[in-house]
Chains A and B, each alone.
Chain A
Amino acid sequence: MSVASMPLGVVARRQRSYYRFILPALVVVGAVIIFPWLFTLWMSAFDWKIGSDAHFVGLDNYTGLVHNQRFLEAVVRTFYFTALAVIAPLILGTIAALVFHRQFPFRGILRGIFIMPMMATPVAVALVWTMMFHPQQGVLNYLLSLVGLPPSLWVYSPQWVIPSLVMVEIWHWTPLVMLIVLGGLAALPTEPYESAKLDGASEWQLFRFITLPLVAPFLLVAAVIRTIDALKAFDTIYVITSGGPGTASETINLYLYLQAFAFYNIGNASAVVVIFFVIVMALALLLLYVRKRTQWT
């Protein structure tokens, strides 16, 4: 018997009985997600440093942050880092997926090697890259010298620190994008390609007008995952530069960490979290909106 054909009383009874099953999950979600969130919101209205008394200050923490140059720079830097750390792996990952989608000798082994960076622990990866970036003893400058290029300061230069950190992200996470896109490619139908080839389409046209639109939903999934990852990037940046030189690589997360766990300004740190949450939500909604659009077309 379908729900629609049931008498109303039975439906209501049955719906009531459902709540009992939801209750445990609701309690857990309430305790570990909703309560901490509300508590953070509450704390953000206080001036509280661990070891001293808390004073209610209303929105002062927020107005302070809006006028705090260091925080605003951290926000801009976060977007800069995120944009680079999303776009570059997306492009490289797609190219890699196209390469590995073709048949060639040792494809399986090479694909296995290609995805290995993904399995490495971020902190270990960061430590290795720290050594490679060293301006005097690092292998990267040695490689540059082999091809006759002048040495670079990499993460030791305020101008180059963000692009250098993005390099680590690219190395680490391009394989993930490749895997997602490769999955998409494998699911593509072969008919459109055959008919296009009959019509004399070039390789580029095949990619631009058939492959790309068809894998676009997969690329978007990869973009969402990468955006979330890049926004919350902390471990590699903290290990390699701790936000330096100066504040040249201080993203919101690094700023937040300092406020909360080095300076113990819990109230201020809570306000940073709330603002960060709003930014993440806004970006996620934007991506979901774009995703809907790609589905329609």
Chain B
Amino acid sequence: MAHRKHLNPSEQQRRRLLQAGVGAAALGAIPGMTLLPAQAQAPFDWKKFKGETIEVFLVKSPRGDLLTKYHKEFEDMTGITVGSEMIPEQQQRQKAVIEFNSGRTSFDVIQLSYHVQKRQFGKNRWMEDVRPLMADKSLADPNLDFADFAKGGLTYATQPDGRIDSLPLNLDPWVVYYNKELFDAKNVAYPKTFAEMVDAAAKLNDPAKGVSGFVGRGLKNANVPVWTSFLLGYGGGFVDANGKLLTETAEAIDAAKMYQTLLSKYGPQGVAGYNWNEAQSLFVLGKAAMWLDGIGFAAPLEDPAKSKIVGKVGYGVMPAGPKQQASALFGDGQGISAFSKKKGPAWFYVQWATNKTNQTRILQNAAGAPVRNSAYQMAQASGEIKSPKQWVETMVASARIAQPGLPVIVPVTEFRDVFGIALTNMINGADPATELKKATADFQPVLDKSEKA
């Protein structure tokens, strides 16, 4: 596994001190930072880069919207002008790769999806290591409080070689949305294990009334996290230490069988073409008993204009598998382009975007799950949380058992494509073991090549 084990706080502090030394020495070597050593002892001042302009490249998402809304606050505080571009995820990913590859980026700060871009950006060293910046007292906000970031987020932000080339912004653990009314009507309790989950789906499935026991993504590529959610519970993994895929093991096959059963037996007709939006629209109509997806959907489910089941939605932590209880985790963060000529102001922006106030705002506006532990207390203290209580509790509980929902490899999109097709084929009746064997054989050479390159 490419992930570094998380460090305990005291060890973290020790490392930070070590890094501080290394960082100070390394500062002179960072392009665009040549002026900084002379000022290294100056106290931190938000106005340090007053008058500069930076470009920020965001993903169209509730987080992107929220940050854009408060850009004025950053500008007033620092005197730095922010130009920002916010485009949909897929296009943003393509544009980022093309710009980084050209060796010149139009942006200084970029929002990235860890589960897709971390390894790609890290391997190519497209983002600046922020450890020296954190170590420099004249550049690091005294309120940065690095230890406040949750384990899952820091694991995501840390590259296998120890570099930290971004700060985490949002975590997206997968949870089960369930329809309390349907559960109560048939006197079914929220499942605690995978076996109970299948049982519940069977009991609640009622095709005559157009009600599906379970709904989730069947569309290739999008569907892979559903399978990996089960894979984690079965104790399976993605890639072993030698770079060999673990996707045709007994655990992988069991998880695929569970996926196949839930979607093809208890899912709606045509689920092979469902992405999250189709699943959501079925669920808000009260036509699905359970829906497994990312945590970010509370807002539409509780919106009377969009949902027929307002107040009837239950939020549940992913049931336990035979080996462990785990929630598949995705996340995004913000980093500084290694090609930026304004790394100082860019670093100020990253610190501001991931600060406690903005993290709290994410929670208050149901825009996602913040990475900072303090955000939960601050939001609760403010009494301004718009999201339901059970949702917040589920999020906290899920974050505690979260594990990366996708392998941290460069060709992750290809992984999702190849295994996504296998999963879609399973919904249409193909044998899980055969499909996984074929997909693994197809993908292993792609992975080998990407690691060699």
Could you give, for residues 100-123 of chain B, a 1 whenever the CB lies within 8 Å of some chain A CB and a 0 otherwise?
110000000000000000001001
- Bound: A153/B272 CA distance, A: 10
A244 sits at the interface (CB 8 A) = yes
With A136-B287, A261-B94, A262-B417 as given contacts, are A156 and B428 in contact (CB-CB < 8 Å)? no
With A51-B124, A245-B219 as given contacts, are A156 and B101 in contact (CB-CB < 8 Å)? no
B92 sits at the interface (CB 8 A) = no
Number of A-B residue pairs having CB atoms within 8 Å of each other in the complex: 83
- Bound: A295/B271 CA distance, A: 51
- Bound: A134/B274 CA distance, A: 9
Q: Is the CB of B281 within 8 A of A137?
A: yes
**Which of B39-47, B294-302, B324-332, B406-414 is the contact stretch?**
B406-414
A264 sits at the interface (CB 8 A) = yes
| A:240-270 near B, CB below 8 Å | 241-247, 258, 261-264
Shortest C-beta distance, B284 to chain A (Å), equals 11
Q: Which residue of B lies closest to A240 (CB)?
A: B273
- Bound: A91/B210 CA distance, A: 39
Q: Is the CB of A53 within 8 A of B421?
A: no
Shortest C-beta distance, B432 to chain A (Å), equals 14
B77 sits at the interface (CB 8 A) = no
Say which size band chain A's interface belongs to. 20 to 34
Taking a contact as CB atoms closer than 8 A, the residue among A137, A246, A262 that contacts B413 in the complex is A262
User: Which residues of the other chain, A, contact B269 by a CB distance below 8 angstroms?
Assistant: 135-136, 151, 153, 156
Q: Is the CB of A245 within 8 A of B414?
A: no
Q: Is the CB of B417 within 8 A of A156?
A: no
Q: Is the CB of A135 within 8 A of B425?
A: no
User: Which residues of the other chain, B, contact A264 by a CB distance below 8 angstroms?
Assistant: 97
Q: Is the CB of B428 within 8 A of A246?
A: yes
Q: Is the CB of A50 within 8 A of B101?
A: yes
Taking a contact as CB atoms closer than 8 A, the residue among A49, A134, A135, A158 that contacts B428 in the complex is A158
Shortest C-beta distance, B446 to chain A (Å), equals 8
Shortest C-beta distance, B438 to chain A (Å), equals 10
Could you give, for residues 271-298 of chain B, a 1 whenever the CB lies within 8 Å of some chain A CB and a 0 otherwise?
1111000100110010100000000000
- Bound: A258/B282 CA distance, A: 29
- Bound: A263/B414 CA distance, A: 6
- Bound: A241/B270 CA distance, A: 12
- Could you give 11 example pairs across A and B, Cβ below 8 Å? A49-B453, A51-B101, A51-B124, A135-B268, A137-B281, A151-B269, A156-B273, A242-B219, A242-B220, A246-B424, A261-B94
3 closest pairs, A vs B, by CB? A156-B270, A52-B453, A156-B273
